Amino acid sequence: MNTLRQAVQEYLSMRRNLGFALRKVGHGLLDFVTFMEQRRASYITQTLALDWAQQPQKVQPAQWAERLCFVRGFARYRSATDSRTQIPPQGLLPFRRKRPRPYLYSDDEIERLLRAALKMPCRYQRCELRPWVYYCLFGLLSVSGLRLGEACNLELQDVDLKAAVLTIRRTKFGKTRLVPLHASTCQVLRNYIARRRRHWAQRPVSSYLFVSSSGHRLDGGNIQRTFYVLSRQIGLRGLSDSHGPRLHDIDSQPTHSCVGIGPMRNPSATCQSCPPSSAMCALPTRTGI
């Protein structure tokens, strides 16, 4: 019979081959195996599973239940080869998940957010592209239905402005999908790419569409912090608020969104149903999930 560590590696490999990423589960189960090894335990018991799940002290009960869920899934798998395995029953650590209430942005709020992005200060020449990066990133999220991670992972080769299509690679369950773009969105992206090319001329830069001031892929933490600063500036959040409208909600607008600000404005490219000030227009599209 193989060891628990070997069994965990086989379990994770099997499920990842089925399309599950299991990043958090993988880290959790490897930590659980280390916990078991320290106690010289060769098989899973309900008591040990509970002890490990409740190790973190200053956390919400939901995190304990999530950790126990990691073990429960693995225990089901392990029980097929080790009859001594105890599978923690459902409800052993009961909790009620509190999901954040989605926030529906108005077109005016999105316009103010993008306007604030364009007004971000630039103290150094290397930061001159930064306002346009966030202007186009937030604008694209609002009209395409992309997840934040999907937008950050876009590379220049994934943007086909002639065909008006984005190729979204390595999405949920490892799939690839195509996202159509409105002609006005293509024009905004075309202007941004030209500006990006001029800014990084004669300097090394990564192939990602949206890059930081150092030329690397945008960091998710920096994106969130920038959004918090801008949302406070335009009144979406109070200056001391720790909760409020999330960037995650901006990609899930139920109706078609239009965005157009200042120099990016191109009224001739807008669709007939959009007001004249619109420069970015599209239907949020997320298929294949």
Enzyme catalytic residues: 147, 172
The CA-atom distances, in angstroms, between 45 and each of 31, 34, 133, 135, 251 are: 16, 15, 51, 53, 43
Q: Reduced to 3 states, what is the DSSP secondary structure of residue 230? A: helix
DSSP type of residue 146: -
Question: Quick one: tokens of 123?
Answer: 């103290």
Q: How far apart are CA 41 and CA 87, in angstroms?
A: 15
Residue located via tokens 């190790």: 55
Q: How far apart are CA 231 and CA 247, in angstroms?
A: 9
Rounded to whole angstroms, the maximal C-alpha distance in the chain is: 72
Number of other CB atoms surrounding residue 41 within 10 Å: 14
Q: How far apart are CA 161 and CA 168, in angstroms?
A: 14
Q: What residues contact 243, with CB distance under 8 A and at least 6 apart?
A: none
Residue 77: CA atoms inside 13 Å, Cβ hemisphere, count? 18
